[in-house]
Structure 1
Amino acid sequence: MEKLLEDIEKIKESAVRDLVKTRIKEFEETGCKTDEEIFKELCFCILTANFKAQQAIKIWLEIGDGFLTLPESQLTERLKKLGHRFPRVRAEYIVKARKYAYSLKDRVKSFKNEMKLREWLVKNVDGLGYKEASHFLRNIGFKDFAIIDFHILDILSRYGIIKKPKTLTKTKYLEIEGVLRNIARKMKLSLAELDLYLWYMETGKVLK
């Protein structure tokens, strides 16, 4: 683990630190926006499941308010035309989630316990697993959730911190989240900040 801590520290001392701070501030600002904007953020996180982040960002920006208004068939066509890997299923998930579109902000605020909020999202929003629910919450300003995708698993495995799991069950997800929380504590970072640094290490980018 020490080698990983050293490598993160080097990045913390570079210009990447300012990029991370800017991105965290953007997430906090998103959490203060309207229900519609927060719902669109939820749609983005549904799009990213098993799909490349940069492509998802392009599609998300292109469709915009269409996530709120397009009939399912048209949304499917748009996603297909724009190159999403799973256009039909993602459109179905997004249209189903619209029942929360104008109450999502209050729903999020109603939870005193952040972990119970994530559990609610996983159980009630089709298309959200623990990674996607954590991604959504991070993107609206929450800081104590790990977004465990293959990039993060690759890094932890490469540094010998974990054995890469074949499948990411809830138990395994929470176990690895605990490992990441320990790393974040040692680095005096939030999990949200740590995720951005680890993503940068693996991809050279600081994305949403």
Structure 2
Amino acid sequence: MDSLVSDVVALRDSWVGELVESRLVEFRKAGSGVPSRLFRELCFCLTTANCGAESCLVVLDEVGDGFLLLPEDELSSRLRELGYRFPNRRASFIVEARSHISSLEGVLSSGDSGEVRDWLVGNVRGLGLKEASHFLRNVGFFDVAIIDFHIIDLLVGKGLIKRPRSLSRRRYLEVEGVLRKIADKAKMSLGELDLYLWYLETGKVLK
């Protein structure tokens, strides 16, 4: 674990640290935005399940307010035109999630991150723990972990965990606990740590 902490701290002290800090500022601003902006972030995280983040960023930019306004069949067609992998299913999830637009601000201010994450998973169809954590991080909640295959690969490669067959809730929280220990040693939040770990695995700092 100490070697990984050293790698992360070295990145923080390099030019990568400035890029990460700019991302964190963006996330804080998004969290104080209007409900429509919060919903667009939610839609982005809904689209990232089993899809690459970079391609989903393109989808987010291209669809824009269509996430809020397009009928389900038109949204599905637009996603298909953009080469998105699951146009029908995600369009259905997004249209259904519109019922929560007006309540998102209240939910985000109603409890701690764990409670809010559980609410999102329980009430927004298509959000698992990873996607809900991703949404929370992108709107300024930095004390939950986004655990995807990049993070799993890195932790397995460092000998910090055994590769899980699947990420059940119990296993997700166990891996999150490992990441929390790393974050504590590096004196940073889980949200900040995620950006550095992603950079170590991919050479990129994405949202």
TM-score (norm 1): 0.98
Counterpart in 2 of 1:161? 160
Letter in 1 for 2:104: L
Percent identity of paired positions between Structure 1 and Structure 2 = 53
- Asked whether the equivalents of residues 68 and 101 of structure 1 are also in contact (C-alpha less than 8 Å), the reply is no
Counterpart in 2 of 1:152? 151
Counterpart in 1 of 2:102? 102
CA displacement at 1:29 relative to structure 2: 0.2
Letter in 1 for 2:119: W
Counterpart in 2 of 1:89? 89
Counterpart in 2 of 1:78? 78
Letter in 1 for 2:144: F
Q: State how far apart, in whole Å, the 2-side matches of 1:32 and 1:9 are.
A: 29
Letter in 2 for 1:195: D
How do 1:58-73 and structure 2 match up within 5 A?
Answer: 58-73=58-73
Q: State how far apart, in whole Å, the 2-side matches of 1:134 and 1:3 are.
A: 26
Q: State how far apart, in whole Å, the 1-side matches of 2:112 and 2:44 are.
A: 24
SS state of the match for residue 83, structure 2?
Answer: coil
| Deviation string, structure 1 residues 64-85 (Cα, Å, up to 9, x no partner) | 1000000000000011110111
Q: State how far apart, in whole Å, the 2-side matches of 1:7 and 1:33 are.
A: 34
- Do structure 1's residue 127 and structure 2's residue 120 form an aligned pair? no
CA displacement at 1:196 relative to structure 2: 0.1
Matched positions, count: 207
CA displacement at 1:114 relative to structure 2: 2.0
Give unpaired runs (5+ residues) of structure 2: none
Letter in 2 for 1:120: W
- RMSD of aligned Cα (Å): 0.7
Q: State how far apart, in whole Å, the 1-side matches of 2:203 and 2:75 are.
A: 32
Q: State how far apart, in whole Å, the 1-side matches of 2:112 and 2:206 are.
A: 27
Counterpart in 2 of 1:191? 190
Counterpart in 2 of 1:55? 55
Q: State how far apart, in whole Å, the 2-side matches of 1:13 and 1:108 are.
A: 32
CA displacement at 1:103 relative to structure 2: 2.3
| Deviation string, structure 1 residues 123-181 (Cα, Å, up to 9, x no partner) | 00001000000000000000100000000000000000001101000000000000000
CA displacement at 1:50 relative to structure 2: 0.5
Counterpart in 2 of 1:28? 28
Q: State how far apart, in whole Å, the 2-side matches of 1:25 and 1:8 are.
A: 19
SS state of the match for residue 102, structure 1?
Answer: helix
Counterpart in 2 of 1:38? 38
- Do structure 1's residue 113 and structure 2's residue 109 form an aligned pair? no
CA displacement at 1:190 relative to structure 2: 0.3
CA displacement at 1:113 relative to structure 2: 2.5
Q: State how far apart, in whole Å, the 2-side matches of 1:114 and 1:15 are.
A: 30
Q: State how far apart, in whole Å, the 1-side matches of 2:113 and 2:205 are.
A: 25
